Amino acid sequence: MSFSLKTLADYVWTAINKNYLLGILVTSQAEARVKSEGWSFGAGKSTFGLEFVKSYCYGGEFDEVKRHTISFVEELEPFLGPPRTKAIYIDDMQIDFGKHKSYDKKMQELAYFLTTQRTHIAVIVGSAPHRDMLQKDFREELFHFEVIIPKRGTFEIQRLKRWIPFQDPLSHRERLEPFGIGPFLSLTPEEQAWYDEWREARDQKAKARLRIFQKEDEKQWQPPLFREFETYARDVCKLRGPNDSWFKLWSYLAKTPEEPMQPLIDE
């Protein structure tokens, strides 16, 4: 079968029709053979990703692309089971699949689950400024190709090849293999308008998740336990009185319902 896999389109067709999972990451800050301008955004990663999924996975049906474009982890869940999904596009993966979750066990489980459920998703196309911004298991395990956008309108495909050194079998190595260069089309005005509106809503949601701007909930005052209150009153304030009186006072000040307490013995 491998003799027919001469282009990225061949890999996409095989993944969809022969029960495989194919991962493609679109970046712009990395550089291979074509000199890159190195922009983190504005280079056309999303344009390439949306146009690629539309043309090679959904036969030109942009409405299908709309239904399968996501950015957040929870949006992936509906596609993790049947019916089979031809392709999904994850825009700006660093937002929710980023390196800040490198030690998140849940993210690790998700990454490994994706490598086993190939009957449900055929092609995953994602975008990020560069591969090192992603969570470790997504960065190292999920993708087979990296499509670099050195400048708007131009793409360069690199196949990720991994091998095991004979002398050091526990240390896997990888390199990029050139796999094609070419131009890509812009979105139509209607498609671009939809994406701009979708991205604006996505960015607002992402901004709301930024913990640095979130005010931490003020820690609510918790009344002391009765035993703490009684001990403080007797030992620190040197007050005296029967236990039931102290308990009634504590109940009033703490504004909590009275609960049966083990009686204390006065010294």
Chain segment 168-181, per-residue pLDDT in tens: 777 667 777 778 89
pLDDT of res. 263: 43
Side chain identity, residue 225: L
**Residues listed for the chain:** 267
pLDDT of res. 261: 44
Query: Which is more confident, 219 or 143?
Result: 143
* C-beta separation of 92 from 127 below 8 A: yes
CA dihedral 108, 106, 48, 60 (to 10 degrees): 110
Task: Read off the pLDDT of each residue in 1-8 and give the average, rounded to a whole number.
Answer: 71
pLDDT of res. 117: 67
Residues 130 and 31: their CA atoms lie apart, in Å, by 10
Chain segment 185-198, per-residue pLDDT in tens: 899 999 999 999 99
pLDDT of res. 140: 83
pLDDT of res. 216: 64
Strand partners, 177: 159
Residues 150 and 27: their CA atoms lie apart, in Å, by 9
Does residue 28 have a pLDDT over 60?
yes
Determine how β-strand 173-183 pairs with β-strand 154-163: antiparallel
Residues 117 and 85: their CA atoms lie apart, in Å, by 11
Domains and their CATH numbers in the chain: 2-212 (3.40.50), 223-267 (no CATH)
Instruction: Give 136's contacts (C-beta < 8 A, 6+ positions apart).
Output: 99, 102
| Token representation of residue 10 | 């061949």
Task: Read off the pLDDT of each residue in 217-221 and give the average, rounded to a whole number.
Answer: 57
Residues 228 and 121: their CA atoms lie apart, in Å, by 58
pLDDT above 70: percentage of residues in the chain: 88
Under the banding of pLDDT at 50, 70 and 90, the label for residue 59 is very high
Whether the CA torsion 97, 101, 107, 108 is positive or negative: it is positive
| Token representation of residue 61 | 């049906």
Chain segment 124-159, per-residue pLDDT in tens: 999 999 998 999 888 888 899 999 999 898 999 999
Does residue 55 have a pLDDT over 70?
yes
Under the banding of pLDDT at 50, 70 and 90, the label for residue 93 is very high
* C-beta separation of 52 from 154 below 8 A: no
pLDDT of res. 218: 52
pLDDT of res. 262: 44
Under the banding of pLDDT at 50, 70 and 90, the label for residue 247 is confident
Average pLDDT, the chain: 84
Tracing tokens 């526990």 back to the chain, one arrives at 170
| Token representation of residue 60 | 């030109």
Query: Which is more confident, 7 or 239?
Result: 7
Degrees to nearest 5, angle at CA 192 with 186 and 193: 160
C-alpha pair distances (Å), 163 with each of 138, 166, 171: 18, 9, 9
| Token representation of residue 155 | 């793409």
Q: Which of 177-181, 192-196, 218-222, 223-227 has the lowest mean pLDDT?
A: 218-222
Residues 120 and 178: their CA atoms lie apart, in Å, by 29
Side chain identity, residue 80: L
Chain segment 253-264, per-residue pLDDT in tens: 766 444 444 444
Under the banding of pLDDT at 50, 70 and 90, the label for residue 118 is low
| Token representation of residue 262 | 């083990």
